[in-house]
Amino acid sequence: MSPGMSLFTVQAVLILSSDDGSRIFAKYYSPPHNATTGLSGASSNPYPDLKAQKAFEKGLADKTLKQTGDIILYDNRIVLYKMESDVMMYVIGSVDENEILLYNVILALRDSLHLLFKQSVDKRTIIENYDLVSLAVDEIVDDGIILETDPTIVIQRVSKAPTQDVNLGRIDLSEQGVNNLAQLGKAKFTDWLRQGL
């Protein structure tokens, strides 16, 4: 294994507004062992505070909003980006990282959001469903380590409700209890149909 190789390949995942470059979603990663020892080949987070992050995001937005490609070298970092409606999605890695692997991450994020929202991925939808966006990003990248790049698996993990056992001794047979049971059955049937199609 090369001394420069590391599992910590992603340094940041950003979603910025394409109108003014303002932050919609941002997650910066720094390998835990880098902050103290500096022994790993991956570089520590050069944007430790909000001021440095905002400056980086502003410069990045100014640079990429005028371009039509999907990869640039900015601030000695590889930046992959995709434009969707009125937002720009970014995946940032060190200059030594594999561009194809990072490109798979940006595609997984874009495709996961398309499958999750079943509509246009725009600023309003992302803000209204911020929890799902955050979960999707966490399923794709954890602490800078790429976990999953298949959007269908990401969506299954994000949209699936946790299973719970029903205690038969506590079933409420009042009118409200029956209505709640009917709503639960309707929701389960809808989920079953959605997964089957």
The pLDDT of residue 171: 62
User: Which of the residues in the chain have pLDDT under 70?
Assistant: 1-6, 32-45, 160-173, 196-197
Q: Beta 10-17 vs 23-28: how paired, if at all?
A: antiparallel
The C-alpha torsion from 64 through 65 and 69 to 73, rounded to 10°, is: 0
Residue range 90-116, pLDDT digits in tens: 999 988 888 999 999 999 999 999 999
Each as own residue / partner, the long-range contacts of residues 183-188 (CB below 8 Å, 24 or more positions apart, any chain) are: none
Q: Compute the distance between CA of residue 164 and CA of residue 145 in angstroms, rounded to an integer.
A: 30
Q: Compute the distance between CA of residue 19 and CA of residue 129 in angstroms, rounded to an integer.
A: 20
The pLDDT of residue 138: 94
The pLDDT of residue 14: 95
Residue range 154-183, pLDDT digits in tens: 998 888 655 565 555 566 667 777 777 788
The pLDDT of residue 167: 59
Identify the residue whose tokens are 């561009």: 99
Write down the pTM of the prediction: 0.73
The pLDDT of residue 37: 40
Instruction: Tell the burial category of 15 from Cβ atoms under 10 Å away from its Cβ (0-12, 13-18, 19+).
Output: buried
The pLDDT of residue 30: 82
